[in-house]
A = this chain, B = another copy of it.
């Protein structure tokens, strides 16, 4: 069956989605991946629904042209504004980053006290709150936007006293609220896992949405009998809409390995 050898498609407004690719490579090392980062139009966070839907459809169309067997929407803004549109439009399954993380958080939280951290626009949109309440109305949600995390990560100040200091300030309210589970509602944030865990302490479980999405994709491909059958490792292709230099430079950190085969569309 040729079609099982088709690639997994994934798009993001920029490079954050590479943390999802990292988890896909771990969970499904034999799969091929086509990634599209819309670096010329990043960020989506402050753009209108109409515009974000238009961009998301264009990105998904690009992946469809590469004959992917599934589409992962790795951008939180795209997920909250366009996921339903994409699900209706395409025959292949479309998976977002919000639902897998939310499901896992409710599953893991003993006291149903869940924290959510993300960019200003994600937090303001309340999309995680709605998704959590949909699964369990009793869950108490405490959210906090951490607008400096993305620029700190893109500055590559990852294991850094300044970043630890800033994380301490952002997270102090959530600590006081005694949450037991914390959703990293931004695909950049897995790079700060160690810092965030240090601040929150061992008793708070961090939910890495990248890892949860990869798990859901694996489950779906297994259940539908669509895992790649080739014995050798899959290929990763990366496409971006702006000059690839900055993407390649920082992307390696996100991916946990050196990047190659990055092309401008």
Contacts and interface: CB of A to CB of B under 8 A. Distances in A.
Contacts of A93: none
Interface string A133-167: 00000000000000110011011000000100110
Contacts of A47: 40
Contacts of A46: 39-40, 42, 242
Number of copies: 2
A194 interface: no
Interface of A: 39-40, 42, 46-48, 147-148, 151-152, 154-155, 162, 165-166, 169, 242
A155 B151 contact: no
Nearest to A14: B46
Closest 6 pairs between A and B when the two form their complex, measured CB to CB: A151-B151, A148-B151, A147-B151, A162-B165, A147-B155, A162-B166
A228 to B, nearest CB: 35
Nearest to A160: B169
A207 to B, nearest CB: 25
9 contacts: A39-B46, A40-B47, A40-B48, A147-B154, A147-B155, A148-B152, A151-B151, A162-B165, A165-B165
Nearest to A152: B148
A99 to B, nearest CB: 27
Contacts of A165: 162, 165
Contacts of A154: 147
A162 B155 contact: no
A125 to B, nearest CB: 13
Contacts of A42: 46
A148 B151 CA distance: 6
Contacts of A152: 148
Contacts of A40: 46-48
Nearest to A39: B46
Contacts of A39: 46
Given A42-B46, A46-B242, A48-B40, A162 B169 contact: yes
A133 B162 CA distance: 36
